[in-house]
Structure 1
Amino acid sequence: MTGARGRVARGGLLFFAGVSAVLGVVILAVPESFFSLPWVDLGMPYNPHLMLDYGAMNLALAIPLAASAVAASPLTVRSGLASYAVWAVAHLVIHLRYRTHLAAHTSNGNANLLLVILAVAVVISLALFLLSLAGPGSSHTFGGSGF
């Protein structure tokens, strides 16, 4: 992959893969500690099965994200970025939906920080996806002619 757009998209995929892998490992290793974070707990009962499933899902998501970056074909990069964008949008909407629970279990500053971080993930993943669609040669490989 030689184009600037391709390098940026590939870097984004590797970043998202790393975040997902670290999150998955942490949740699988110490699920109760992760759940005890105020922006996760939200005053709801702890469910070890769901928490472990969430950790495993994050760890598994890292694989296709990293593979998309390595394969670097338009289809794999767009698929990886679209998958992460769908996850990021859904995750933000979920936390917005439970905003009152979040505010009740952490400070407004922490609640707002989490929402900003989730919104940044949405913006970055959508921007990278749109970037992968734009420009000449976008339907070709990522080699010298465009993306």
Structure 2
Amino acid sequence: MGSRIFHIAQVAGVEFKGGMNGDGPYIACDARYGDVALGICGLRKYRPAPASWRGREAKLGWWVVKYDDQARIDLTDFSDSEAQELSSEFGIVMFDDDDPLVSRDLRLDYFFTSPAWESLCRWCRERPKLAKQLRDAQVYLPSWYERAQTATTG
């Protein structure tokens, strides 16, 4: 894995990566040309507005969204169970048009129960200098560094 990639998982034959950037931990999918910060994202089943997304028709289906409605990763070919698998792997809450508002605390809490979180803790242990350099990158996932330090030493 690259020095800033802390987690890789295959879901429905598609590779997803957990990595670190200047905003903190994020999920990326090169095959779907998208990424979004963890902690603020969600999995939502809807049709994004406007009717086009990256120059093509926006379809009804699962999307990884920033906040509640900013489409970031197209998963419209995913089944409900595949979306659930991605949700569990990266600790991303699921919601739909009937209930699109999920609290930030719930989103944070769920991430901290995921395999991606365990990988981030391991990444911090294996790359302590880089983790420390990025500790202020907590825009969307506050306290990730402190919690990882506690998990690593506790």
The TM-score, its normalising length taken from structure 1, stands at 0.30
Does 1 or 2 have the higher relative contact order (CA < 8 Å, sep 6+)?
A: 1
Higher strand share: 2
Higher helix share: 1
The TM-score, its normalising length taken from structure 2, stands at 0.29
